[in-house]
Structure 1
Amino acid sequence: MNHQPKAGRCRACTKLWEDCSALPFHTMPIHSQDGTDAVVICSEYTKAANEALSEGLKKCRQCEKALPQESFYKQRHTCKACLLERTRKWRAENRDKYLAIQRRSDKKRKPNRHNPEHIWRWKIKSKYGLSADDYVAMYELQGKACAACGEPGSIDPGDKSQPRLAIDHDHATGRVRGLLCGPCNRAEGLLKTSKAAEGLLAYMRKHECAESI
């Protein structure tokens, strides 16, 4: 009869990279049997796991390192570092889905109605999927000015001389395009298409030329 260890236990075993072909599998308890093939419960795996736990260590199933118990969340077999890396990778590969989940979650959280800044942060997070840091990064990238007309803007809600730039987004897809001053943002919303904007621009230039004659 052919005796083989249970594959799932091998993958989680501390002897994963060792040659275990010489182990006496025929003497170990049988887990399941199919004709002449038998899957056994490896006693060496149990011994190795107990040794690791006796030292206060636990093996991560992803990086396969023996780490202290505090490196794991309760009842998890993947260490915190690997879970964090896996989460970051998933968020990067599924950004649209992640932002949709964040929006649904943020909508359930009621903002502090006595704190205007907190309301603003909650609004841009729930509506556009942007954090305050994302907003500041866009502001710096645009040269601290409106992306359309170049008029200087502010990120300080208390600055009355330069109002805070508005977040412009595609109403069809929800994609954030940039930061605009109030007049440009309102004009873009009214004109809706670049064709309409070009028509208005041509009209204004025509009459500016006529008035200069």
Structure 2
Amino acid sequence: MRHRYGLDQAGYDALFAEQGGVCAICKEVPTPRNTRAHWDGKLCVDHDHDTGRIRGLLCNDCNLAVGYGKSSEALRAAAEYIDRYA
């Protein structure tokens, strides 16, 4: 984490505590089902790929959704699409 995000274990732990120990989006606690195997049960460090700024900690599903969504406009449009057929 330190090399890739500039975040040491203490920084991760502080962010995890600040988020209440849950994913910043879906609010689920980390489990083997929603975390990446090589992260040892830790949430993904979400960051802006352009600036490198850390936004928060996400479960793997939410991290993938944000990554594939590419922009807040695309994610809002996807949410509206899902709501239209709910």
Which interval holds the TM-score relative to the shorter structure? 0.7 to 0.9
* Corresponding residue number in structure 1 for 2:53: 175
Flag the structure with more relative contact order, 1 or 2, with Cα contacts below 8 A and sequence separation at least 6: 2
- Give the one of 21, 31, 38 matched to 1:144: 21
Alignment gaps of 5+ in structure 2: 36-41
- In 2: Cα distance, 1:147 partner to 1:127 partner: 20
Equivalenced residue count is 80
Which contiguous aligned blocks of 4+ residues in structure 1 show a shift greater than 6 angstroms? Answer: none
Q: State the superposition RMSD in angstroms.
A: 1.3
- In 1: Cα distance, 2:43 partner to 2:69 partner: 19
Alignment gaps of 5+ in structure 1: 1-123, 155-159, 209-213
Residue identity opposite 1:198 in structure 2: R
Equivalent positions of 1:171-210 (< 5 A) are 171-208=49-86
1:145/1:137 CA distance change after superposition, 3 Å: same
Output the TM-score relative to the length of structure 2.
Answer: 0.87
Percent of aligned positions that are identical: 40
Output the TM-score relative to the length of structure 1.
Answer: 0.36
| Counterpart contact for 2:34–2:59, Cα < 8 Å | no
Rg comparison, structure with higher value: 1
